[in-house]
Structure 1
């Protein structure tokens, strides 16, 4: 792993709350090490986590439902013996899974929140979680009740900061009225720019940061994807509209437009796409989903890439906001997204 200075970013602006979390300028999304992208090599996953921390990555993102607890236990093993105070561990909760991996809905009742955190602390082997957030809005529980329960955990010392995930502007305002919010975790990339209309302006008005996932559109924007690679079985991309049929062909053609620009910059398509997200504001921390050391090394190279205003314009000219073919999730999953249902971003 080449040594470099990743730099830091603050989730939340001064004055929005007493001590906003400061993280590395890129974070590591750990989901793929346990779930949804097909089989992963556990030894390589742990080696990748170690390499990320050694390279200066401090933000590790997980969910208690990734692999039904496997991901938290994996991170717990990987960070054992490391300097805990250097790390910012972000955990999503609330998604319900069956023993076959099926999605059963969301539970964000206050009692459930406090139970979930107890299990996460045990699996991670830590005494506090830095950022705790509901994975989705529970339609049966007011966001005020969920945030209030996490606020109790903050007071008790089990949680340091409260985050949100995939919610719209109205929900963000309601949550922030209960307790300061550090960041919204939401998909944001050249292929997914819905947050720009209303959600991002709302976050900036309230002094809330963004942890952006899907910055490579689940590998579609990596420059490494091809029709032959489209997953099957446990890889959810086999059911994703953007990876299906004519949509995939159209989207890969957009990637080739970016490849030409990347070559001009002496970069890879993945590095260009990550750098574009990072360039959208100092309040945005891209999460890279690398689960192998070589992919991690490539992703971290994005911090060395300087994009001029002309570069950014050429990229959005090559990939206009409405150019991507297909929704980012299947219809049943899109229906669960407060951020989409209200069309506030």
Structure 2
């Protein structure tokens, strides 16, 4: 069982990932279970019609009850689609409750192990959103709650209403700003820290070439790190990681994720996949031995002013 990796189900929803099929999505979740992954991250807004929830539920119904009990299911509310099909933040208490109820129904479960506020709604006090999540805990629909994509100040305000027991934030070797901010704060406050973008949309998996042309509809070219000099610097780093990974009989993806979960305060990495064969790249990722971590740090230091040893 790997407690350092969480399968993130955003790619399986098929909104920004091209070519996703329900068959492959379900096979991917099964492959993760077979590989020892026991934590799964979904959200009300993962799919225009809740595809991630539905596909997770389909797999859960096929599992042996004893195996099902080992699963830690993370849900998120606070984002939904408006009438134009645009994903928007909505932290109103009544919306959070409704979306949590619907998400649970789509999955076919009664309670999330962890339920999180997906994003702070700037039009709604974070304390009001936290109150709604507290009510869901009291109703037995979540065992504990947390907060994603928030500042230290927002986490503190949330925690005045209900304990914030987990956060989600971005972290990868190319983008390390959160180490000294929200991750350090969460560590001080004994929150679980689940980091995403550990592979930076596949760039740190070592599978995207310098001249790769993305399919129409793929959202990745809109990210600054996939543009111009930033992308070329990233490829320079991936080239070095490729050599190091081969020397240690690892994949570049495994090395990148293992670096992330080696950082102080990080509990686990959220990693996405939408094909079963992708699971093998990261299923056994975990904290790196200190000498190897230092080697990876030196490589990443070429794009960061400072890197935690």
TM-score, length of structure 1 as denominator length = 0.82
User: For 1:143, which of 123, 126, 137 is the aligned residue?
Assistant: 126
Measured after TM superposition, the shift of residue 256 of structure 1 is 0.8
Deviation, structure 1 residue 283? 4.6
1:33 offset after TM fit, Å? 1.0
Partner of 1:94: 78
Give the Cα–Cα distance (whole angstroms) in 2 for the partners of residues 249 and 175 of structure 1: 40
Give the Cα–Cα distance (whole angstroms) in 1 for the partners of residues 76 and 214 of structure 2: 25
Summarize the Cα distance change of 1:265–1:100 in structure 2 as closer, same or farther, 3 Å threshold: farther
Question: Residue 302 of structure 1 corresponds to which residue in structure 2?
Answer: 285
Cα distance, 1:43 vs structure 2: 0.9
Structure 1 residue aligned with 2:4: 25
Which residue of the partner structure matches residue 226 of structure 1?
209
**More divergent stretch after superposition (228-237 vs 24-33):** 228-237
Structure 1 residues 177 and 276, CA, compared in 2 at 3 Å: closer, same or farther?
same
Looking at structure 1, the residues matched to 212 and 70 of structure 2 have their Cα atoms a distance apart, in angstroms, of 37
Deviations 1:6-65 (A, max 9, x none): 2xxxxxxxxxxxxxxxxx321101110112122213212111111211222111101111
| RMSD of aligned residue pairs (Cα, Å) | 1.9
- Write the distance in 2 (CA, Å) between the matches of 1:232 and 1:141: 37
Alpha carbons of structure 1 residues 154 and 46: separation in structure 2 relative to 1, 3 Å:
same
Number of the residue aligned with 2:32 = 52
State whether structure 2 residue 58 is matched by structure 1 residue 74. no
Q: For residues 168 and 150 of structure 1, what CA distance do their matches in structure 2 show? A: 18
Which residue of structure 1 lines up, in the alignment, with residue 21 of structure 2?
A: 41
Aligned residues of 1:192 and 1:321 also touching (Cα < 8 A): no
Give the distance between the partners of 1:53 and 1:311, measured in 2 at CA.
Answer: 28
Once residues 42 and 208 of structure 2 are traced to their aligned partners in structure 1, the CA distance between those partners, rounded to angstroms, is 24
Distance 2:171 2:24 in 1: 27
CA distance in structure 1 between the partners assigned to 2:133 and 2:200 by the alignment: 30
Q: Pick from 145, 149, 154: which aligns with 1:171?
A: 154
Q: In the alignment, what sits opposite 1:238?
A: 221
Q: Which runs of 5+ in 1 are unaligned?
A: 7-23, 325-345
Aligned residues: 300
Match of 2:169 among 186, 191, 197: 186
Q: 1:227 offset after TM fit, Å? A: 3.5
Does the Cα contact within 8 Å between 1:37 and 1:237 map onto a contact in 2? no
Of 161, 175, 198, 1:215 maps to 198
How many Å separate the matches in 2 of 1:147 and 1:58?
27
* C-alpha contact 2:233 2:303 (8 A) present in aligned 1: no
In structure 2, do the counterparts of structure 1 residues 194 and 79 end up closer, same or farther at CA, with 3 Å as the change threshold?
same
Secondary structure, counterpart of 1:286 in structure 2: strand
Q: Distance in 2 between matches of 1:134 and 1:307?
A: 31
Give, in whole Å, the separation in 2 of the partners of 1:112 and 1:230. Answer: 39
